């Protein structure tokens, strides 16, 4: 702020105005010792006036309706494009989860199958069948009681059974 008055003094001196001998002495003589510096924007006065806009009615803007629909259309188009871009990635992630669930189920079913095969082998073991046969008083058939089925006609099989 101190450079602005100096700038104006220099232009006044260049214009031919009378130059003081010592600018500091003249500034001290002219300056009032009790005068305070001015505050910035001291000359500005703000007045707050109450404004009542309750009776105002907004005028319809015919261009704003088209602009709103254009914005809605652009947002829908952007949403459709974003969905089209992100949908394959989301679908592949969900498919990966499904594959892992199916793999876990395949392992579980394979374990269950092994357990069932083991149980079937235990139930069909010759020692168990022998015990069951003895419990029901069953005996091994003699060789004359056994009928071997070959590719014979039905009448031949029927004759052997009698």
* Cα 14 from chain centre: 72
- Mean pLDDT for 104-108 is 98
How far apart (Å, rounded) are the C-alpha atoms in residues 18 and 30?
16
**Backbone torsions φ then ψ of 139, nearest 5 degrees:** -125, 160
How far apart (Å, rounded) are the C-alpha atoms in residues 160 and 157?
5
**pLDDT digits 0-9 by tens, 35-66:** 888 888 888 888 889 999 999 998 888 888 88
Q: Give burial (CB, 10 Å; 0-12/13-18/19+) of 162.
A: exposed
Tokens representing residue 108 in the block: 């579980």
Which residue intervals of the chain are DSSP H helices?
A: 3-14, 23-30, 62-123, 126-135, 154-161
7 or 100, which is more confident: 100
**pLDDT digits 0-9 by tens, 10-20:** 555 555 555 55
Mean pLDDT of the chain: 82
pLDDT for 6: 59
**Backbone torsions φ then ψ of 53, nearest 5 degrees:** -105, 20
- Residues 67, 72, 75, 81, CA torsion sign: negative
Predicted confidence (pLDDT) at residue 26 exceeds the cutoff of 60 = no
143 or 89, which is more confident: 89
Q: Of 38, 39, 20, whose CA–CA distance to 30 is shortest?
A: 20
pLDDT for 18: 55
Tokens representing residue 18 in the block: 């009378």
pTM above 0.75, yes or no: no
pLDDT for 36: 82
Predicted confidence (pLDDT) at residue 152 exceeds the cutoff of 80 = no
pLDDT for 139: 86
């Amino acid at each position: 702020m101190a450079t602005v008055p100096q700038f104006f003094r220099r232009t006044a001196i260049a214009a031919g105005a009378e130059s003081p001998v010592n600018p500091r002495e003249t500034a001290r003589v002219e300056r009032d010792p009790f005068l305070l510096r001015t505050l910035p924007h001291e000359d500005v006065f703000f007045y707050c006036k109450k404004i009542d806009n309750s009776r105002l009615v907004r005028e319809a803007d015919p261009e704003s309706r088209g602009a709103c629909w254009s914005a809605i259309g652009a947002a829908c188009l952007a949403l459709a494009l974003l969905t089209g871009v992100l949908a394959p990635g989301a679908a592949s992630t969900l498919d990966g989860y499904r594959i892992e669930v199916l793999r876990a189920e395949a392992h579980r079913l394979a374990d269950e199958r092994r357990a069932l095969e083991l149980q079937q082998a235990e139930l069909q073991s010759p020692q168990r069948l022998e015990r069951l046969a003895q419990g029901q008083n069953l005996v091994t058939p003699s060789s004359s009681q056994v009928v071997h089925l070959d590719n014979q006609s039905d009448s031949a099989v029927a004759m052997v059974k009698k």
